[in-house]
């Protein structure tokens, strides 16, 4: 139809680790002038590049539906896979990708023109997704300026514009994700991966409240109480043995000993995952908090005040998060759709909970995690996650108060 408006979506997705921390970026442009109508960028948790790219496309198509529905549409991406699958020339082979593909197809208008562009021509979408991953931009939908609203097709009514304004207001209040018709957790058809996290039982260091790190430290084993705690948790989890597909453990001695007790009770084999190891505390290893405060007051103050400062010359919280999320990515890729029983430590478990909830890393200071406790997280193929249980213990352990 002569005079019909044409708009263009440029979208991209990226994963640091593939799978790893991921985000997407999408921008809706006027195809003739190149003027930006709206954009969106969002962190989606741990995901693959392909998932992030499809999430970027879906975001772009939603922007199209919100701001230019009825216009002729071009889609330009530097993902050959997405372009060819959406064009119908390549099959979708991976089952976990099909819900995302179908979501995109349901949003795309008939006659959508898909085209591949080199990465250097997709700089806008690439830039905003990396700003989100770097923490330089909040996950958001950017509000549309009044001048852009004026350029919507003339058939858009005042009520439709008011609806857009209202939705932008909801975005600013942090409610956009509830309104967006993305696949959200259980709303999708793909099988999620469940992570049943068990903290190790106590050691002599635990009882004395001493810093006890990973492989570089003194690496104490479980004491008698710790072994009893592990057995109680193993008995508690035993009825779920058939639901557990794999048992993994941090390679540190106290977690391996805990995992072996679980393995014997549940009839499983233990595999090691280094990403689940505890923070390295360097020169603080084996010391109490009071001793570190007396001997290294300035260093302790810096560590408590910054997620970037290493503990005793060991690891910082941000370094631990990077290692832990890389391990999570390996588990999600290697055991997709399974139930994974994982034995780990205080810091990695708290990091995983903060990550699943989209909470800042500082949230680790607001969690209490008892020895031999159970925490359950479910991760969905679309990058979302749900906290299902936190710091749960058998009655006999809960009554001890430790």
Calculate the alpha carbon distances from 141 to 99, 122, 283 in Å: 23, 19, 45
Rounded to whole angstroms, how far apart are CA atoms 147 and 256?
A: 62
The one catalytic residue among 10, 273, 278, 280: 278
Q: Looking up tokens 């008698």, which residue turns up? A: 224
Cis status of the peptide bond prior to 140, with omega within 30 of 0: no
β-bridge partners, 28:
9, 38
Report residue 51 as tokens. Answer: 């998932």
CB atoms within 10 A of CB 338: 17
The one catalytic residue among 42, 53, 67, 200: 200
Residue 156's Cβ-count burial label (10 Å; 0-12, 13-18, 19+) is: middle
Among 129, 150, 200, 141, smallest CA distance to 171 is for 141
Calculate the alpha carbon distances from 272 to 27, 200, 253, 263, 328 in Å: 42, 14, 11, 13, 13
Among 115, 116, 87, 119, smallest CA distance to 101 is for 87
Rounded to 10 degrees, the C-alpha dihedral 132/137/139/140 comes to -140
- Check if 278 is active-site: yes
Rounded to whole angstroms, how far apart are CA atoms 323 and 312?
A: 18
Ramachandran area for residue 106 (φ above 0: left; ψ -120 to 50: alpha; else beta): alpha
Rounded to whole angstroms, how far apart are CA atoms 196 and 375?
A: 6
Any idea which residues carry the catalytic annotation? 200, 278
């Amino acid at each position: 139809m002569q005079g019909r408006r044409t708009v263009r979506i440029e979208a991209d997705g990226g994963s640091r680790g593939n799978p790893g921390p991921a985000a997407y970026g999408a921008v809706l442009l006027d195809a003739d002038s190149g003027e930006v109508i709206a954009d969106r960028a969002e962190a989606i948790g741990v995901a693959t590049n392909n998932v992030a790219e499809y999430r970027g496309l879906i975001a772009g198509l939603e922007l199209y539906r919100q701001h230019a529905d009825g216009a002729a549409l071009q889609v330009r991406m530097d993902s050959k896979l997405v372009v060819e699958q959406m064009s119908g020339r390549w099959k979708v082979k991976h089952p976990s990708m099909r819900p995302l593909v179908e979501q995109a197809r349901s949003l795309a208008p008939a006659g959508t023109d898909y085209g591949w562009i080199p990465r250097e021509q997709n700089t806008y979408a690439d830039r905003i997704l990396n700003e989100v991953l770097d923490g330089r931009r909040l996950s958001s939908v950017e509000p549309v300026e009044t001048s852009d609203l004026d350029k919507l097709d003339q058939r858009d009514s005042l009520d439709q514009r008011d609806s857009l304004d209202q939705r932008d207001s909801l975005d600013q209040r942090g409610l956009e994700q509830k309104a967006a018709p993305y696949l959200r957790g259980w709303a999708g058809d793909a099988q999620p991966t469940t992570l049943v996290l068990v903290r190790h039982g106590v050691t002599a260091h635990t009882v004395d409240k001493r810093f006890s790190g990973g492989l570089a430290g003194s690496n104490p084993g479980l004491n008698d109480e710790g072994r009893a705690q592990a057995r109680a948790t193993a008995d508690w989890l035993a009825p779920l043995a058939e639901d557990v597909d794999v048992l993994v453990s941090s390679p540190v001695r106290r977690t391996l000993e805990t995992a072996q007790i679980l393995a014997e009770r549940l009839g499983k084999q233990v595999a090691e995952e280094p990403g689940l190891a505890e923070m390295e505390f360097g020169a603080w290893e084996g010391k109490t908090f009071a001793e570190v405060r007396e001997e290294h007051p300035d260093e302790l103050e810096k560590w408590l005040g910054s997620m970037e400062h290493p503990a005793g010359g060991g690891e910082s919280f941000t370094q631990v998060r990077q290692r832990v999320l890389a391990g999570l990515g390996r588990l999600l890729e290697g055991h997709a759709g399974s139930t994974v029983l994982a034995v780990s430590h205080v810091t990695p478990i708290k990091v995983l909970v903060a990550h699943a909830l989209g909470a800042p890393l500082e949230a680790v200071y607001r969690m209490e995690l008892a020895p031999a406790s159970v925490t359950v997280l479910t991760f969905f193929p679309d990058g979302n996650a749900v906290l299902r249980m936190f710091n749960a213990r058998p009655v006999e352990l809960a009554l001890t108060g430790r």
